Amino acid sequence: MIKHVRSAHHFKGIRKLLAIAGLALLPAAVTLSSSAAASTAINFTLDWRFEGPSAPFLMALDKGYFTEEGLTVTIDSGNGSAGAVTRVATGAYDMGFADFNALVEHSAGNPDSRIQAVYMVYNSTPAAVFALKESGISSPADLVGKTLAAPVFDGGRKAWPSFAGHNDLAVDSVTWQSVEPALRETLLARKQVDAITGFYFTSLLNLEARGVSPEDIVILPYSDHGVQLYGNAIIASERLLNDNPDAVAAFNRAFNRALVETLEDPATAVTYVKKRDALVNEELELRRLKLALDAQVVTGETLAEGLGAVTPERLELAIDEAVVSFGLTNRPDAAQLFNFALLPERASRSVPQM
């Protein structure tokens, strides 16, 4: 190849040949440049730090699935779902991973916003109530008169009106204690509160880390008690959706491919989290990943509709519940919030047999 001809003496002897070769290689060079120019850069933000559930994103990046789709993707950690939505809304990031309900809340307050969810990863909300068995709490009715601890922005706390409504409880039947996220499980472990709300795959592991045996924990998942809310979804900016919807569809295909592989082999998938952050506890994050997959990703709806999808009927119910729970004065349209058109083909989204 021309780039290997470094000697001026050698070049002089084959000047004419190289000129001809250069002309011959020109079309290939132009093709290469066009291919490189076709690559779309996407800045992607997670909702939280690099943990087990981020495995399919990091796998798709490390194994080159995004590259194969013509994308140059960067993935950053986040500081919460509301923050992820804001990052995408301000244009700081092109796409992100965030609680769908945070998107509903943002869109209600910003009617002109056209951020959309394009792939529903968590088919049900991970929100749950946690209590100790010795408290005597075993059902929603047992929460009446109890004190629950959670940050003010916690998804379970914000969705409490929905949980209460589905279980014949008055919204004000419990007392809330506002705490920092890091203190929530500690207070329950020390029996300083009656219960807490938190994400299923986070609070359970945090309680175990604080010395509470799984056998001593009562968990009331919102999704098992009537709540129709969806969980985390991949979201895309208005600019990217308008300018390059094919890139969004390509991102979904690459992610979906990695998610299917993650479902087939979680142990291998979580190694990509370890590669990104050497300080993570791989065994712990594997447990977190499996909990998320089993409870939030593989559901009756995803078995019927495929990974990433939602049903129009439930989507309407989920939006209604978010509006009521969060006390929103504006109800965004379902078509404004979820884009069905950019999902991968149905055959590729089937939950693998395990």
Question: Rounded CA gap, 349 and 354, in Å?
Answer: 15
Give pLDDT, residue 351.
98
CA-based nearest residue to 54, from 234, 250, 209, 230? 234
CB distance 164 to 222 below 8 Å: no
Under a CB-based contact definition with an 8 Å cutoff, are residues 50 and 273 in contact?
Answer: yes
Look up residue 217 and give its DSSP letter: E
CB distance 30 to 22 below 8 Å: no
How confident is the model at residue 255, as a pLDDT? Answer: 98
Query: How far is Cα 53 from Cα 81, in angstroms, rounded to an integer?
Result: 14
User: At residue 338, what is the residue type?
Assistant: F
Q: What are the residues facing 197 on neighbouring strands?
A: 129
Res 337: pLDDT: 97
Q: Block means of pLDDT (10 residues each) for the chain, length 354 residues?
A: 36 35 36 51 96 98 98 96 96 97 97 95 98 98 98 95 98 97 96 97 96 97 98 98 98 98 98 97 97 97 98 98 96 96 98 88
Domain at 39-124+234-349: CATH architecture = 3-Layer(aba) Sandwich (3.40)
**pLDDT value for 353:** 86
Residue-range domain boundaries for the chain: 2-35, 39-124+234-349, 127-225
Whether 39-124+234-349 shares its CATH topology with 127-225 is answered yes
Pick the CATH number of 127-225 from 3.40.50.300, 3.10.310.30, 1.10.10.10, 3.40.190.10: 3.40.190.10
pTM, rounded to two decimals: 0.88
